[in-house]
Structure 1
Amino acid sequence: MTMMNLSLVAPSVLPLLLAAVMLVSWFMAPSTVKLCRRLGMVAAVVARSSHSVPTPHGGGFLMPLLFIPVGLALTWAWPMPFKGYLTMLLLAGALVAYVGWLDDRHELSPRFRLVIHLLAVAVTLALLPRLFDFMPLWLEKAILMFGWAWFVNLYNFMDGADGLASSQAVAMGIGLSVVVPAFAPLGLLLAAVTLGFMRVNAPKAKVFMGDVGATWLGYTLAGLFLLAAVDDTVNIIWPLATLPLVFAADATSTLFRRIVTGHKPWEPHKTFWFHRYLALGRSHLQLVRTVAFINLSLLALAFAFHKLGHPGWGFVVGVLEICAIAWYIRHREKARPSKVA
């Protein structure tokens, strides 16, 4: 079958392909628990842990293992733009996932991991068309490299509660598909493989995704979102920036607060906003449901204001919503002092 014929068939086959991939992920998910246990990859309970019993970690390898080969096939079979960039994104994503897997097994140095993340971002970013014509190319690339590398790491930071990072990935994959339908195949594929993995990662998690899953998700999502903004940057970048607000706002504001108060940014802690929400007596399931509802509202804001021709206002209202939630958590902390370390 020629590539042209594949492109014509793909739209009708896509729903079946997505369902098949999700089922494969669903049925393979329990094997990740067994493998991680057999390899001795078990997260012990320490002071900063959100879990109460030793739990296998590193099971997130299943997501890139399924997504990358199927994503490559979709990239070349589907009439998708920027195939060279997408191919590099997927291949460099394999490097990010592999280093994450090694870190889960052997605890690599943070500096080495950062170098690999920057390398993966740099080689992919070199193929990204221009987004901002009003600034020098070198400045645009520098800003995007810093932002992309930060998103990889903040996504890893936010993987601290059962099902939180995986549910966020599902929301962002679906959100990307709604806001920029041209990238629906890859956005929905990412959501499908992650939904299958949630069989063992949702509360109460039988396995954690680990660095292999969290850093890969952060890298891949950021790369897809940047590419989706290329054709109509001014209008698309705002709704795309609205979708990851839960993670971006939590991690960035927490890091800033810790730096200002004299803490080392890389020091383990339990002061993210989601930690503080859990410390109020909420369960991991309640957290995931709350974040899912917030993400649904952010998607509605992003889509509605984009269609109304005022995409920036969706982002502004989304930021106000996040601020209101932070105020609520702070208010509850004052009313019911919680142990936040």
Structure 2
Amino acid sequence: MLYLTLFICFITSILITPLVKKLAFKIGATDKPNQRKVHQKIMPRLGGLAIFFSFLIGYLVLQPDSKYALPILIGSIIIIITGVLDDMIELSAKIKLGGQLVATLIVVVYGGVQIDFINLPFGGKLEFGMLSIPITVLWIVGITNAINLIDGLDGLAAGVSSIVLITISGMAIMMGNVFVTSMGFIVLGSTLGFLFYNFHPAKIFMGDTGALFLGYMISVLSLLGFKNVAVISFIVPVIILGVPISDTFFAIIRRIVKNQPLSAPDKSHLHHCLLRLGYSHRQTVLIIYGMSAIFGLAAVIFSKVQTMWGSFLVLAILLVAIEIIVEKIGLVDKTYRPILNMVRGLRLKN
């Protein structure tokens, strides 16, 4: 039944997306080209609505049995309303954040999706107490916006989200978490159907409607899959979401280094850097898909390593690899190359 529902969501998304495209033009939910954007013509940007409608149909067919199901659904509706309004009239950052906070608080306070504690590696337990709600809210809002930030090229956010959902759902199957598997598959099928129209050259964008919805669902499902576990296991969702988290983290570093406001837009995100290196639109998207898949594989390996030192080794290799890539492509700044300069210095000495 689970795989059938995934297929139903996929087909529904393929059938609904052209109708949403017409609706987007009718209500003015379009994206006009400017100096920051890659596309050259007016594009419909309400595609996330097709993903959401397909998700709703899958939800009604499968009817996932969990106390979290209804709060997640209510929160997702608020996220969708926020996204649709933003795609139509471009809401201010404060109003958009307000919508995200309302949706998040519903699933955290009403739904009880919270990180209450973490089991420490050498015994004992770290109880978050009153901090459990703000920490959980920060995670959900942070990941929601991280997915939104990578939505800069045709098929990029949808493809990366699909890879993340495959990893989360696959690990949920291994852990016997039926609810996360079910919800993950519903969102996955809906996103893959939309990707049929969104991959380069895109016929429609997902807009904030889609990016916020996918970010919200991914953040909540990743929490439910790994909440209240050992500190080592809690790193797993961070690794799975390595691409959007890294891009967001280094965007913050970049703005701090350049004394810019954290909300200041720029053209130095991961996809911008790869385009500047001479890769085509499609090549850039496929490279980032590959990065996301490597993060997913690393998360699985990390979770299966039996010793703590083995886990630290995997994490160390991953962090060094990320730093080298960041320096190579100039994600922080063209002059930021500490490791590469150190290696070059050692070579010159020899």
Under a length normalisation based on structure 2, what TM-score does the superposition of the two structures give? 0.84
Match of 2:147 among 130, 142, 155: 155
- Output the amino acid matched with 2:272: H
- The match for 2:90 is 107
Deviations 1:150-172 (A, max 9, x none): 22122212211111100011011
Q: Aligned-pair distance for 1:90? A: 2.0
- The match for 1:323 is 323
- The match for 1:87 is 70
Q: Aligned-pair distance for 1:289? A: 0.9
Match of 1:274 among 271, 274, 278: 271
Deviations 1:71-98 (A, max 9, x none): 3653535xxxxx1223211221111111
Shift of the 314–26 alpha-carbon distance from structure 1 to 2, 3 Å rule, reads farther
CA distance in 1, matches of 2:302, 2:334: 35
Q: Aligned-pair distance for 1:317? A: 3.1
- The match for 1:167 is 159
Q: Per the alignment, in what secondary structure is the counterpart of residue 84 of structure 1?
A: coil
- The match for 2:7 is 19
Q: Aligned-pair distance for 1:69? A: 4.5
Please say if residues 238 and 311 of structure 1, whose CA atoms lie closer than 8 Å, have aligned partners that are also in contact.
no
CA distance in 1, matches of 2:46, 2:277: 28
- The match for 1:226 is 223
Deviations 1:263-310 (A, max 9, x none): 122232211122111122222211221112112222221112311225
Deviations 1:209-242 (A, max 9, x none): 1111101111111011011112534353222211
Determine whether 1:58 maps to 2:39: no
Name the stretch that deviates more: 226-235 or 295-304.
Answer: 226-235
Q: Per the alignment, in what secondary structure is the counterpart of residue 123 of structure 1?
A: helix
- The match for 1:253 is 250
Determine whether 1:120 maps to 2:117: no
Match of 2:18 among 19, 27, 30: 30
CA distance in 2, matches of 1:69, 1:305: 35
CA distance in 2, matches of 1:131, 1:217: 26
- The match for 2:185 is 188
Residues 211-222 of structure 1 mapped to structure 2, 5 A cutoff: 211-222=208-219
The CA RMSD measured in Å over matched residues stands at 2.2
- The match for 1:297 is 294
- The match for 2:32 is 44
Shift of the 140–317 alpha-carbon distance from structure 1 to 2, 3 Å rule, reads farther
Shift of the 321–68 alpha-carbon distance from structure 1 to 2, 3 Å rule, reads farther
CA distance in 2, matches of 1:84, 1:124: 10
How many pairs align? 317
Q: Per the alignment, in what secondary structure is the counterpart of residue 134 of structure 1?
A: strand
- Output the amino acid matched with 2:14: W
Determine whether 1:199 maps to 2:172: no
Q: Aligned-pair distance for 1:313? A: 4.5
CA distance in 1, matches of 2:128, 2:96: 29
Q: Per the alignment, in what secondary structure is the counterpart of residue 64 of structure 2?
A: helix
- Output the amino acid matched with 1:288: V
Name the stretch that deviates more: 154-163 or 256-265.
Answer: 256-265
Gaps of 5+ in 1: 1-12, 78-82, 336-341
CA distance in 1, matches of 2:219, 2:3: 24
Shift of the 121–213 alpha-carbon distance from structure 1 to 2, 3 Å rule, reads same
- The match for 2:303 is 306
CA distance in 2, matches of 1:122, 1:189: 23
CA distance in 2, matches of 1:142, 1:260: 27
- Output the amino acid matched with 2:293: L
CA distance in 2, matches of 1:55, 1:210: 10
Deviations 1:243-269 (A, max 9, x none): 111111111211221133121222322
Please say if residues 239 and 315 of structure 1, whose CA atoms lie closer than 8 Å, have aligned partners that are also in contact.
no
Shift of the 136–184 alpha-carbon distance from structure 1 to 2, 3 Å rule, reads closer
- Output the amino acid matched with 1:165: A
Under a length normalisation based on structure 1, what TM-score does the superposition of the two structures give? 0.86
Q: Aligned-pair distance for 1:53? A: 2.0
Q: Aligned-pair distance for 1:311? A: 4.6
Gaps of 5+ in 2: 119-124, 336-350
Name the stretch that deviates more: 116-125 or 196-205.
Answer: 116-125
Q: Aligned-pair distance for 1:312? A: 5.1
- Output the amino acid matched with 1:170: S
Name the stretch that deviates more: 319-328 or 42-51.
Answer: 319-328
Runs of 4+ in 1 over 6 A off after TM superposition: none
